[in-house]
Amino acid sequence: MTRYATRSAVEALVTPFQVHRDVYIDPEVYRLEMDHLFANTWVYVGHDSQVPNKGDYYTTQIGDQPVIMVRHSDGEVKVLYNRCPHKGTKIAIDRTGNTGKFFRCPYHAWSFKTDGCLLAIPLKKGYEGTGLDKTESGKGMKAVGAVKNYRGFVFARLNEEGIGFEEFFGGSLSSLDNMVDRSPAGRLEVAGQPLRYMHRCNWKMLVENQTDTCHPMVAHESSAGTAVKIWEEMGHDADAPKPAAMQIIAPFMSPYEFFEEMGIRTWPNGHGHTGVHHSIHSDYSEIPGYFDQMKEAYGEERAKEILGENRHNTVYFPNIMIKGPIQQLRNFIPLGPDKTLVESWIFRLVDAPEQLVARTAMYNRMINAPTSIVGHDDLEMYERAQEGLAADGLEWVNVQRLYDEGEDLEQEAVENGTTERQMRNQFHAWVKFMTATMPENLEAAE
């Protein structure tokens, strides 16, 4: 298992516009992603409204590392490895719960404060003079390297050293800002549990697809195309007012020109978004009373500015996507080289009309649910790609659309909305954060 364990071997997997198939299918590359990429980057953990009260916790994973997000007694959100420092037992098994003032391991009852510090050990005298207090285990549950709560969104970096939060995300935080600013109170709350949907494909296929604007009119013709056809057969004018479900699904069938003109913006470190000038979310009808609440909270000009931003999908590298105008977050959680758990979360805009979250929930059911009529189209493509990549005839995947020689992915740019620049941007960042902690060569590894 050392074929790819050096910096130069990983660098050779990505050219300016091609990606080697092993990036998607090779178990060693996947292992290296877990050890390096997911340890060196800022990975989304959860929203702080999932743990509103002290002692509330939520269990999830960063890469393949089991972690607990918990509200500590000082009100801060902590992220701890979900592992007892004694013999490794997972401390919390439930997805969510309240642990009170401390965690207690079910095996030998060591207990820990909600920031991980060791609180008590039964029959502690058995450790007197053994030096336990000088070991890692004697300190308690281990916290991850760094945590940042950005306007309610909790991100963590596993490694203690590495790129800072602001430097990693840079200008891309404007998309999260816009989603939060859409609440008159400037606050979001998760609305229930996410829709969870297992995909038998590599996690990066889902991330790439978020800014793939040349697939909707093709892959979704069977679902969205049928809906539009039936709508027209019912005798509706193209301009006739549409019910919410049609407002959501019809734009998937927009022509290439629509997607070309909507634009794509990319930021350094793998982040980017579709829908710079307009998007498939631009033409939703107004919800009565909402604009007045926004005007009251922000003033007319700022309210118009916030609601005038109609970004489509913003990818936060490595593995989430948000939709500001419709308050969604999708988390693409890797479970293996060919297995990904997709979580689709929705948010309530605090102090805004309930119809907004109703529309958001409708979008989630129609587009992202396991019972969606649209999501299957994408799933079919990912799974076919995963199978097709096993073919030995070709080794490379192509992401060359609108590529320019000399393209500088360390610079922010706005381009034609059908470019594959954001995919190239992701893989550029992939190499950067995979190799940051890898040895130059095998001798150095020893």
Give me the residues that bind ligand FES (CB under 6 A), please: 84, 86-87, 89, 105, 107-108, 110
Cβ 154 vs Cβ 47: under 8 Å: yes
Strand 396-398, strand 271-274: pairing: unpaired
Report the distance separating Cα 157 and Cα 395, nearest Å.
32
Angle (nearest 5°) at CA 371 between 249 and 279: 25
Distance of CA 389 to the CA centre of its chain: 24
Could you tell which of Fe ion, ligand FES, none binds residue 111, using a CB distance below 5 to 8 A set by kind? none
CB of 119 to ligand FES, least distance (A): 12
Q: Is 208 in the site for Fe ion (CB under 5 A)?
A: no
DSSP, res 83: S
Shortest distance, position 86 Cβ to ligand FES, whole Å? 3
**Least distance (Å) between residue 280 CB and ligand FES:** 50
| φ, ψ (nearest 5 deg) of residue 343 | -110, 125
Closest approach, Cβ 147 to ligand FES, in A, equals: 23
Give whichever of 65 and 149 is closer to ligand FES, judged by the CB atom: 65
Segment 369-428, which members bind Fe ion (CB under 5 A)? 378
- Measure the CA–CA gap between 300 and 303, rounded to whole angstroms: 5
Task: Identify whether 251 is preceded by a cis peptide bond (ω within 30 of 0).
Answer: no
Query: Least distance (Å) from Fe ion to the CB of residue 405?
Result: 30
Q: Which is nearer to ligand FES, 100 or 170 (CB)?
A: 100
In terms of CB distance, is 89 or 437 closer to ligand FES?
89
Q: Which residue is nearest to Fe ion (CB)?
A: 378
378 binds, among ligand FES, Fe ion, none (CB under 5 to 8 A by kind): Fe ion
Nearer to ligand FES, 115 or 351 (CB): 115
One-letter amino acid for residue 284 of the chain: Y
Distances (CA, A) of 190 to 173, 327, 345, 367, 423: 19, 10, 7, 18, 29
Question: Which tokens in the block code for residue 438?
Answer: 């890898």
- Give me the least distance between CB of 252 and Fe ion, in Å please: 8
Choose among ligand FES, Fe ion, none what residue 105 binds, the Cβ cut-off being 5 to 8 Å by kind: ligand FES
CB proximity list for 392: less than 8 A, separation 6 or greater: none
Task: Choose among Fe ion, ligand FES, none what residue 89 binds, the Cβ cut-off being 5 to 8 Å by kind.
Answer: ligand FES
Contact set with Fe ion (CB under 5 A): 378
